[in-house]
Structure 1
């Protein structure tokens, strides 16, 4: 199971410009330091209104916003015009999930719950940037280390080796890849792959077939968290 420490090798940037909006100085410093070490350029402000003013004047590839700031709710009502609406990663309290995402007027959104792991921040930032073209990775492709899944061609590769996947295996791999370093339950996997919950044996057999193809003659990326589900990542460096 992944540990609580982050290693920038999980999800490195290529100079993309990120805006951090966090009122807690410790949170702002942690995020700024982590993201800068991971290869991003970071600007941090303490108030949501200041962040929106910056977005109206300057170009950012992504914004990380603490949704618990008192002035975040104002943004849904003011909605100043932005020349470019970057994706936003929200930091929220777990008990606020039922009223998640005030209408920020930004682009694509994702969230992590507080207290968060910096490893999750790095992964979610990378995934959001892929959708904007700001990430140098090829458009339409998801990747983790030498594992690449190309949605445009519906193909998967592990290094130079093509993976001959069935449609169900492809959907499972995509779900694991998009949620790298997150444990997915059998119910979550079944609903994503087949649209309904399947018995445990069906999912175990599907995971086993996919693992044989992905991890053949290479460090294992697909792992079991007994009693909880499955996750994708490098256990030797992320545990």
Structure 2
């Protein structure tokens, strides 16, 4: 299919319109607000267009580690805030990695139906007792079922061990894969941070089955 472009077309008028359409397509999703997330260069001045968008790049949407922006203590109850600007059916998970390598993520809390409506949302999460790190990662994962999109935000944090931040106790984990990338299991709040394998994997498998059923219903006349 071929079409001709009028010679008198004013690109100075058309280009801003195209840019607005592009930005509106990238915007309108969701991201974690607190703890403060890693932000790609220039993204903050551009309305968090990249942080809001879906990704397939794990573990942290391609954003490398940055400086620690939030400091906590083991066993502390911390606030979690997130923003949804376009509602998509799906579930969210808050996860923790303490090895300084953005891997071996542990689930701290599961948020079912976290994005059914738009707006700003908040909750609290208790960090596990006896677990500390000088440079860890708190990751917010949103699985949008209907659109089959994955949203990832990561925050660089430190967790002190009862005021003695010099000692670090990484979370130990048994292998339970979420995807082909990072390993994720359910954290239990004990001093040894014992992991319960398979919880997150089962949830994601359940989500995939739900999404498949929804698509099959949509195809029926």
If the length of structure 2 is used for normalisation, what is the TM-score? Answer: 0.28
Q: Looking at secondary structure, tell me which structure has more helix per residue.
A: 1
- TM-score normalised over the length of structure 1: 0.26
Structure having the higher strand fraction is 2
Higher relative contact order (CA 8 A, sep 6+): 2
